[in-house]
Amino acid sequence: ADPLTIDLTGYDGVVVSPGVPLNTHPIKPHAEKYGVPVIGDIELFALARADLPPHKVVGITGTNGKSTTTALVHHILQTAGMPSLMGGNIGLPIMAQDPLPDGGVYVLELSSYQIDLTFSLDCDVAVLLNITPDHLDRYDGSFEKYAASKVRLFQMQSKGQYAVITIDNPITADISEQMKTNGWWNLFEVETSDYNGECDGPALAGPHNAQNVAFARIAVASLDFDGIDVNGALRTFTGLPHRMEVVCEEDGVLFINDSKATNPDSTAPALAAYPPEEGRPRIHWIVGGLPKEDGLGPCEQHLANIAAAYTVGEAGPRFAELLEGRIPNVERCELVSEAVSRARSAAQAGDVVLFSPACASFDQFRDYEKRGEHFRQLVDVIADSADCERAPIIDGGKA
């Protein structure tokens, strides 16, 4: 039956996918006519917690970095032998997984879409990594509404729980000040610029990963478990597919799949991770797709690291206009296959072919995973004789 025609009298709630746009979909006003909440699977989990064995929940949100930070916390706990599950906006849905035994930790990546559908998730540790403009179509173009969605993760917490927040930009710094004014408890402020050093782990290159590690360390420490070897766990972390994923090294050229970078804020750390060597820029940047915004954003700060750009997709011509005359070479390619071929031909030993589109995938691909898999396959074809170390596949979230 069409849910929009059902009499919802007596229903406890309507459960929808996070992909349903509440600001435009008719299901929300229909449910409101009957006083019925529209919720998601995270709220179902929150409602079920009282019937689960004693456990803790770490909730992690932010515009960028939340998948890696979630996977890091989960990996650290697993390496220490702690029962842990990873879910939410990454991997299997949390309601599709078996409950943890006594003392377990649920580590949840939470998109703003999921938080919008959640009302009673009382996280033992709630983490806000950053807030930059994204998904604004879901918030009627309002950055303030988008930011308020993220903050609700803290507002659902009860007294005595831990909050971890970055304060290195005005938006999050203001949020932190408001929390302190309101008498917030157990608040950890993180100045992420203090964490720009190298990380002890092959999959954790770049200052953005140093920041992710800093948040993961604080989140784990807030759980108050003894005997966890965080440094040892970091050395064995293999990273996430499609996020700074080392696909292959052939003849000294590193091929990096960063398809998960769907906006300039997410791409900028990837560009920062490979500075020039002996004054020579070494990044061959494959960029473009369906644009979320006009301009290079924070990528502007790292143009000196780029030897050449290969523009693709709907945003390709605009990126070419923005980059021509500012970096040594720009090639308009349209298709990813052409860009990979040209980059591979031009790259020298020590260079990096970086697929970090800074755009959504929907102009040519179903999602960023399919786009990343396509890049992997292209690299496999041109480097099938190379002895490549490949990252294990871990399913990632899409929102």
Q: Which residues are catalytic?
A: 66, 89, 135
Please return the burial class of 225, using the count of CB atoms within 10 Å of its CB with bins 0-12, 13-18 and 19+. Answer: middle
Contacts of 115 (CB under 8 A, 6+ apart): 42, 61, 149, 150, 152, 153
Query: CB atoms < 10 A from the CB of 92, how many?
Result: 12
Kind of pairing between the strands at 245-250 and 253-257: antiparallel
Handedness of CA 377, 378, 379, 382 (dihedral sign): positive
Query: CB atoms < 10 A from the CB of 194, how many?
Result: 11
Q: Which among 280, 256, 281, 282 has a CA at the least distance from the CA of 270?
A: 256
Q: Which residues pair with 4 in a beta bridge?
A: none
Cβ atoms of 21 and 138 closer than 8 Å: yes
